[in-house]
Structure formats: structure tokens, C-alpha cells
Amino acid sequence: MNVIKDFLLQIALIAMPVFGHQMPWEKNKKAIMTVLWGIALVACMTFPVNYGMQFRLDIRIIPLLLGYLYGGAGTGLALTVLLLLFRLYLGVDIGFYTTALTALCGIPPMLLLRKAFLKGDLVRRVLIACSLAGFYCLVGIGWSALLRGISLESLQVQAIQLLCVLLTTWIAVRLNDFIHDVQFVRMEAERLRTISELTSLFAHEIRNPMQATRGFLQLLDDPALPVKKRQYIELSIGELDRANAIIGDYLSFGKPASTERENVELAHELNRSANVMQPYAANQSVSIRVDAQLACRASVNPQQFGQLVINLLKNAIESMPEGGILQLSCRPDGDFAEIRVKDEGIGMTPEQLERIGSPFYSLKDTGTGLGMIVCQQIVKQFGGKMTVESEYERGTEVIVRLPLA
């Protein structure tokens, strides 16, 4: 039990550089990390696992390995020199020669595999790190057996050391990735929050002169003007409307979700949204057919629910350049209300369908891709689920399931 307890202390000593590696050091990060890994290395050697009178086992390989893999050759060589000097300070004996020979054989693979380690995914990094750590330990066991001889007791202790090294390496690499991911998510969230605030501010400031410009252009659109000039005015108004729609998408994407809800009859809201989109649909030669059953009451924000349905209808209408029939239905299905928006449009390939809902991915030349993200946010806020089924040149069906009130 004392051996295991001493190894647990060794594992605790490794935590300092693992957490330190993800600290936001602005300057001299490599030098700071070399110092932290060096402290952990010396601490492991200072508080070893003593077995009998001749065995001093530790997991110094972990800070040495992390130094090579994350810090590079310069950091690793500095740690190697520190390792040899401190072991020399402890005494020139068989242990010193074992340490030197093990480092000579175990360090070159670290240099060779560092690039593959940094480029790999988490599973590959863990596999490479554990393989290198295990190889280093096995080399050490081999040199120790040649210089000291083999005994059953020494093999037992060295087996425990090998297991502790592999376990600690696995924990250290995964923990390092986890901390890095948490920090990345936090920084991205802060960056997106700042961008959202600035975007909202700039959008409102930009919209005012745009509306004024649009109004003056409408005033200038006199039937007596030459055809060419009227075309220029219509084109300018269209581009202003497109820019205004893009700004609206950004504002909807960054707007905080409303917590106000009420129990509404979804059939009424669907019919209202369909009536709003009817002129736009008629202009595109699209006929909207509504089949909304009553008894589909859900706890939603009526304004956001209307935005959700209008967005879906607009996408469906724009996917039918040749016209067609757009079916909008709602019916209870168990504890959920199932809303379906089915078009006869161009549909999507499996690759396109997989990317739907990704930021800034749109099948429309003038689209931003934020409309579907806003829809997904609204459905998620209501505790529902949205799925999209599509077949190329056959049409698309969007299914929204919301919990019944």
C-alpha cells in the first residue's frame, strides 16, 4: 500500500504543469513551461517510491515526455540536461547509468513522433503519448535488469510503475485537451458576445441611413424618367432591401431568447402565418395549402413561433422557382404537436442536407445561412425538435415537434 500511496503523490506532482500549460501566458510561455515541467521532474525524483535499499522508482518520464511533445526539442533537451544533472547530484551509481542509458534510447522516438502527435486527434495523441511512455519505461526496465539483475519483487514494483506511468500519461493528455477545449469555448463565447453587441449597435446605426436612402430613391422613381434610370433606381432599392434582410438575419441570430410564453392554439398561428406569406407565394406561383387540426396547444412565444413558421415558409417558397404546391400541416402525435412544411422544390443532396444549419452555409446566392440557425434556436427554446428530410429534385420536408401544453 505504501508503494501505491507514493505513486499517487507522484501523480499529484504532475498536475501543476498540466494546468500551467493552458494558462494564458502572454510572454515567454515556453520558458515558463520549461520551468514548470522542470520543477515537476525534480519533485518526482526528490520524492521517489523507495523499495528496499536499491530501488528508487518515480514517474519523471511524464514531465519529460510532455516537455518534448508540447514544448519541442529545446524544452525537451533542457529537461534532459536537468534530469541527468539532478541524478548526478543524487549520486553516481547504477541508477545514474540506468537513467542515462534509458534517456539515450527513449528520447529519440519522442523527437520523431512529436509532429505526428501535434497533428493527430485526441485518440491518436493519447495513443502516441502512452506508447512513448510505455516504451521509455520498458527500456528502463531492460537496462535495470542488465545492470542490476532480475528479481520477482523488482519486477512487481516496476510493473506498478509502468501501469502508473501509462495511466498518468492518459490522464495528462486528456486533461490537457479538455482544459484547452474549455478555454477555447470560453474565449469563443466571449468573442461572439462582443461581436454580437457590436453588430447590433452597427446594424441599428446603418439601418437608419439605409431607410432614408430608400425613401429618397422611391421619391425619385418618376414614370417620366428614362427607362435606364428607373432600372438603376429599382436595382438600388432591391440591393438596399437585400442588405436590410441580411442585417435582420444577424440581429435575429444574436438577439437574446425571450422567456415570455403562453398557451396558444398552433392551428390559428399557422393560418395567420400562411395568410401573411400568401402574396409572396402567389408572386412565385406557389400555392399554400394548410391542414392544421385543432387541439394542438403548446407553450410558445407567439411572435417567435410566427417568425419560425414564416422563415420555413419563405425557404420553401424560394426553393420552388418553377412554382408548385406548399403543404403546411399540424396534428397531435402523442404528447407532441407535429408541424410539417413540405414543398415540391429542388430538394437537397445528402451532402447539402448534412450542412444545413451550419453558420453562413446557404443554398441561396444571397443567403447568410442564419435563418435555419434562428429556427433551430426557437424550436430548442420551446423544448422541441426539428428535423429536415429532403431528396434532390423531389422536394424537402421540415418536421417540427413541440410538446403539447
Q: Are 49 and 156 in a shared domain?
A: yes
Is residue 342 within 8 Å of residue 290, measured between CB atoms?
no
In a 10 Å sphere around its CB, with 0-12 CB exposed, 13-18 middle and 19+ buried, how is residue 28 labelled?
A: exposed
pLDDT at residue 366 is higher than 50: no
How far is 239 from 234, CA to CA, in rounded Å?
A: 9
- Residue 337 belongs to a domain with what CATH number? 3.30.565.10
The whole-number pLDDT of residue 369 equals 52
Of 206, 230, 254, the residue that ends a domain is 254
How far is 88 from 336, CA to CA, in rounded Å?
A: 73
Residue 333, strand partner residues: 336
pLDDT at residue 254 is higher than 70: no
154-176 per-position pLDDT tens digit: 777 778 778 888 888 888 888 88
Quote the domain boundaries for residue 123: 2-188
The whole-number pLDDT of residue 257 equals 54
The whole-number pLDDT of residue 361 equals 46
pLDDT at residue 340 is higher than 90: yes
Q: Are 75 and 124 in a shared domain?
A: yes
Count up the domains in the chain and report the number.
3
Of 188, 209, 240, the residue that ends a domain is 188
Of 207, 235, 254, the residue that ends a domain is 254
The whole-number pLDDT of residue 341 equals 92
For cell 514531465, name the residue: 63
Q: Is the dihedral of CA 103, 105, 108, 112 positive or negative?
A: negative
In a 10 Å sphere around its CB, with 0-12 CB exposed, 13-18 middle and 19+ buried, how is residue 232 labelled?
A: middle
Query: Quick one: pLDDT band at residue 399, thresholds 50, 70, 90?
Result: very high
The whole-number pLDDT of residue 66 equals 87
Q: Are 73 and 179 in a shared domain?
A: yes
Mean pLDDT of the chain: 80
Q: pTM of the entire structure?
A: 0.50
304-337 per-position pLDDT tens digit: 888 888 889 988 898 888 889 999 999 988 888 8
DSSP SS3 for 71: helix
Q: How many CA atoms lie within 13 A of 369 on its CB side?
A: 11
Q: Are 180 and 221 in a shared domain?
A: no
